[in-house]
Amino acid sequence: MQPTQTAARLICRVREPGKEDTNMQARGPLMIEHRLIERMLSVIKDVLTEIKSKNKVDPVFVDIAVDFIRVYADRTHHGKEEDILFRELTNKSLSTKDRQAMNELIEDHVFGRQTTKALVDANSRYRNGDEAALTDIAEKLQTLVEFYPKHIEKEDKVFFPASRAYFTDEEDQAMLAEFWEFDRKVIHEKYKSVVQDLEA
């Protein structure tokens, strides 16, 4: 088991329906989400090997990977980090080092979005018959599988433990409650946008 997995298990037990886990800290759900993102990256790695050996890709797989990255990794996960954790940290007197680390994480999120957008563009070209776009698809997928684990490690091992020190237990629990509420809204936001897109 990876050290980060061990840490996640120590601080976050899975909630039983109807029961709040009073031992969970706010970073618990974020670390659990990191584990699912890692599993998706592992799937993407396998597909990359296939792309290289077969010299083709299923554009539907790319659509699924993009949906996962945009809705889960970016909106649901980065959303909680940026809209709640980072927002709360901007009200604290962060050390220069921690402030720089937070800014770097925000830049990483932007980089992830740009890479995903380029992946969507390449997939659309590939789908329309541009076989040369396969190289771009593979390159963007490769970028994502190399970049995300480093980002996750910075958060799990350095930034989350460091940022926890700025919050009281009550503040941490208030963020956790806001995380659950944030998650609850995402599914509605997602499918409202699906219907709006179809209507348009």
Q: Which stretch binds Fe ion (CB under 5 A): 42-50, 64-72, 76-84, 88-96?
A: 76-84
Selected from 88, 98, 155, 156, the binder of Fe ion by CB under 5 A is 155
Nearest to 105 by CA among 45, 166, 151, 170: 151
In the complex with Fe ion, the residue whose CB is nearer, 123 or 163, is: 163
Q: What is the DSSP string of 60-85?
A: HHHHHHHHIIIIIIIIIIIHHIIIII
Q: Name the 3-class secondary structure at 131.
A: coil
Is 156 an interacting residue with respect to Fe ion (CB under 5 A)?
A: no
Mask for 31-70, x = binds Fe ion (CB under 5 A): ----------------------------------------
Fill in the DSSP letter of residue 25: -
Q: How far apart are CA 47 and CA 145, in angstroms?
A: 11
Number of residues located near Fe ion, criterion CB under 5 A: 2
- Contact string (CB under 5 A) for Fe ion, positions 95-134, x = contact: ----------------------------------------
Burial class of 73 by CB neighbour count within 10 A (0 to 12, 13 to 18, 19+): buried
Site residues (CB under 5 A) for Fe ion? 81, 155
